[in-house]
Amino acid sequence: MSMIVEKIPEKIRQYCKSIKKKDKSIGFVPTMGALHEGHLSLVKMSLAKCDETVVSIYVNPSQFGHGEDLNAYPRTLDNDLMLLEKMGISAVFVPGNEQMYKEDHMTSVEVSEITSVLCGKSRPVHFKGVTTVVMKLFNIINPDYAFFGEKDYQQAAVIKKMVQDLNIDVKIITGPIVRESDGLAMSSRNVKLNKKQRGQAPVLYKSLIEAEEMLMLGVSAVEVKQRIADKIKMQSEVLIDYLEIVDPVSLENKIDSKNGILVALAVFFGNTRLIDNILVNKIDNDRNQNEKAG
């Protein structure tokens, strides 16, 4: 059966309802397009788990703050559709702004607390835009499962909280970060790096690995942060937006090491802001117990 490409919310809703009527499960992969192996790995997870898979491609303006890269965000719709068709997915939802945000749109969904740290600190409107659009997409598609990448660790945590708090009938599944052979996390924004910046960007993953090693050896979070910040700053083109060592559940500095430890960072290479993280699962050394990371 050929892939359906639909921009009208009511039509894709009817299509999804028809799938449900046949007692089939729907897996949903929301994206902003410019698809790469990271997205495709989520699509594969959905195809393996669900009877039908629906992908959305929509560059959501409400999650970009003033002066951020909304207009420069890469858009590669024809190629995206070709990739998805090859994978055998059922339908792609490709709304425009006129379908998603009517002129008199007044409603938003906002998760508090965990949205005010990490990316939320430097991108204050971002998560409100994400939760609002994802809620709308969930209401239109009504999926059984929705798939999110772990590169956007905080985004996945915020969506899980929204689903829990608002009793939304969907299971959130996360997929591991997919990396280039030199360790750079795949991102639609990587194409915006110039040659020099692209050469420098793998320092992020190298630093995260070093941070993990140090934490496992019992080096304090304060010292780990200092050492990896110094390592990243050795590159000429960078500006660190944040570099944090936090509890993976609360996203706060007060670490309860039974949850593991999350090292998360956002770094500008020129105008391009890249994020990455590593979840350090098991800290053996008592020195890290309940440590307050500075």
Q: Does 133 bind ligand PAF (CB under 6 A)?
A: yes
List the Cα angle 135/136/140 in 5-degree steps.
115
| Site stretch for ligand PAF (CB under 6 A), options 68-76, 106-114, 126-134, 232-240 | 126-134
| Site stretch for ligand PAF (CB under 6 A), options 130-138, 212-220, 249-257, 266-274 | 130-138
Closest by CA position to 170, among listed 20, 274, 273:
20
Task: Tell me whether residue 131 or residue 197 sits nearer to ligand PAF (CB atom).
Answer: 131
Active-site residue identified among 36, 39, 66, 105:
39
Q: How many CA atoms within 13 Å lie on the side-chain side of 24?
A: 15
Q: Does 32 bind ligand PAF (CB under 6 A)?
A: yes
Q: Does 291 bind ligand PAF (CB under 6 A)?
A: no
Q: How far is the CB of 63 from ligand PAF (least distance, A)?
A: 6
Evaluate whether 253 touches 264 at the Cβ level (below 8 Å): no
Task: Tell me whether residue 116 or residue 281 sits nearer to ligand PAF (CB atom).
Answer: 116
Task: Tell me whether residue 100 or residue 184 sits nearer to ligand PAF (CB atom).
Answer: 100
Tokens of 151: 């590169």
1, exposed or middle or buried, with CB in 10 Å at 0-12, 13-18, 19+? Answer: exposed
| Site stretch for ligand PAF (CB under 6 A), options 29-37, 95-103, 179-187, 216-224 | 29-37
Tokens of 161: 């909280």
User: Catalytic annotation on 36?
Assistant: no
Evaluate whether 38 touches 178 at the Cβ level (below 8 Å): yes
In order of 10, 42, 105, 238, 252, the CA distances from 217 in angstroms are: 55, 33, 52, 28, 22
List the Cα angle 30/34/36 in 5-degree steps.
85
Task: Tell me whether residue 174 or residue 197 sits nearer to ligand PAF (CB atom).
Answer: 174
Query: What is the contact surface with ligand PAF in residues (CB under 6 A)?
Result: 30-32, 60, 63, 130, 133-134, 152, 155
Active site residues: 39
